[in-house]
C-alpha cells in the first residue's frame, strides 16, 4: 500500500477502536456532551513504565479516527518517556512517509497521550484492572454519566433522541431498553427541589413580628359586634387579650382561638386578661 492508501485503510478499518476495560490511564479531548470528543485508553505497566496497549474512542470527529488508529498501533511497547515525544511526524513515519497535508491540522490523539500520561503519573492510587466507571453502552464504552448529562443538558425526552446524540444502542441494541428509565431519572433530577419554609424566628424580633401579625388577624378576621380584642401577652399557642366593649366576650374569645388556629396552625387558646 502507498502511505495514502494505508492511511485510508486506518480510516475504513480502524485498529484498536473501542474501550480498553483494563486501562489504568485515560486522556480526553473535546466533550461528548457538546458533540465532538476523543478518549484514549492506555494500559501502563513495567519498570520502566511502558504502554502495554492503547485503544481509543471517537465521537463525531471522524477526521480523527485514522490518526488515532495509527497512533495506538504505534504506541504499543513504548516507554512513557518515548510516548511523550510522539507527534505528527512520528505518525507520518509509521504510515510509510505520509504527506503532512493528509493529516488533520490538529491531531487529538497526540494531546490525549499527554493528558493520559500526566493523569497516570499524578494519580494518588493506581486503580489496577478494575472498571472505574459504570457503562451504559458496553459495545461503545459509553459511560452512564455521559448519557445522563446528555439527557439533562440537551433536554432529551425520547429514546431515539438519546441514541442520535450519544451513539448508545447502535451496537447490539441491548441498552436501548434502559433508555426510558434513564430519561425519567434525568428528568426527575432536573426538577426544582422544594424549598423548605423558613423556620419561625425566635428571640425578641421574631416575637414582635408575631404579635403584629396576630394583631392584624384579630383586627381583620375576628369581628364580634360591640367588642374589640387587643393582644396583651403571648405564649406558646396561648394568647392573652384585653377586651374592650360590651359585646359577647365568650364568643369573641372562642372565635379568636378558631381563627388563629386556622391561620397559624396548631390549637390556640385565647384568654382575657385579668
Q: What is the pLDDT of residues 74-124, one digit of tens each?
A: 999 999 999 999 999 999 999 999 999 999 999 999 999 998 999 888 865
Q: Which pLDDT does position 66 carry in this prediction? A: 95
Q: Which pLDDT does position 127 carry in this prediction? A: 46
Domain covering 3-122, topology = Sufe protein. Chain: A (3.90.1010)
The superfamily (CATH) of domain 135-190 is BFD-like [2Fe-2S]-binding domain (1.10.10.1100)
Does CATH number 1.20.120 belong to domain 203-272? no
End-to-end Cα separation, the chain, in angstroms: 110
Q: What is the pLDDT of residues 162-216, one digit of tens each?
A: 888 888 888 777 788 889 988 988 888 777 666 555 555 555 556 677 878 888 8
Mean pLDDT of the chain: 84
Domain boundaries, the chain: 3-122, 135-190, 203-272
Maximum mean pLDDT: which of 49-53, 56-60, 212-216: 49-53
How far is the C-alpha of 114 from the C-alpha of 128, rounded, in Å?
20
Does 129 have pLDDT greater than 80? Answer: no
The model carries a pTM of 0.48
Does 53 have pLDDT greater than 90? Answer: yes
Amino acid at each position: 500500500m502507498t502511505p495514502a492508501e494505508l492511511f485510508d485503510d486506518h480510516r475504513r478499518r480502524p485498529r484498536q477502536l473501542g474501550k480498553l476495560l483494563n486501562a489504568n490511564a485515560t486522556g480526553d479531548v473535546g466533550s461528548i456532551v457538546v458533540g465532538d470528543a476523543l478518549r484514549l485508553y492506555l494500559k501502563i505497566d513495567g519498570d520502566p513504565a511502558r504502554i502495554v496497549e492503547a485503544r481509543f474512542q471517537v465521537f463525531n470527529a471522524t477526521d480523527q479516527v485514522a490518526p488515532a488508529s495509527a497512533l495506538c498501533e504505534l504506541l504499543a511497547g513504548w516507554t512513557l518517556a518515548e510516548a511523550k515525544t510522539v507527534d505528527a511526524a512520528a505518525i507520518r513515519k509509521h504510515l510509510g512517509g505520509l504527506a503532512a497535508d493528509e493529516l488533520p491540522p490538529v491531531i487529538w490523539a497526540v494531546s490525549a497521550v499527554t493528558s493520559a500520561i500526566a493523569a497516570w503519573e499524578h494519580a494518588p492510587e493506581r486503580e489496577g484492572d478494575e472498571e472505574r466507571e459504570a457503562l451504559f453502552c458496553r459495545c461503545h464504552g459509553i459511560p452512564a454519566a455521559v448519557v445522563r448529562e446528555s439527557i439533562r443538558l440537551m433536554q432529551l425526552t425520547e429514546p431515539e433522541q438519546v441514541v442520535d446524540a450519544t451513539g448508545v444502542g447502535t451496537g447490539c441494541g441491548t441498552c436501548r431498553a434502559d433508555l426510558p428509565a434513564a430519561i425519567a431519572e434525568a428528568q426527575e433530577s432536573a426538577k426544582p427541589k422544594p424549598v423548605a419554609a423558613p423556620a419561625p424566628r425566635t428571640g425578641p424580633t421574631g416575637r414582635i413580628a408575631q404579635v403584629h401579625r396576630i394583631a392584624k388577624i384579630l383586627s381583620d378576621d375576628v369581628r364580634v359586634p360591640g367588642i374589640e380584642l387587643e393582644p396583651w401577652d403571648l405564649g406558646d399557642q396561648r394568647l392573652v387579650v384585653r377586651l374592650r366593649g360590651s359585646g359577647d366576650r365568650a364568643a369573641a374569645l372562642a372565635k379568636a382561638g378558631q381563627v388563629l388556629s386556622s391561620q397559624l396552625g396548631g390549637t390556640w387558646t385565647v384568654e382575657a386578661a385579668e
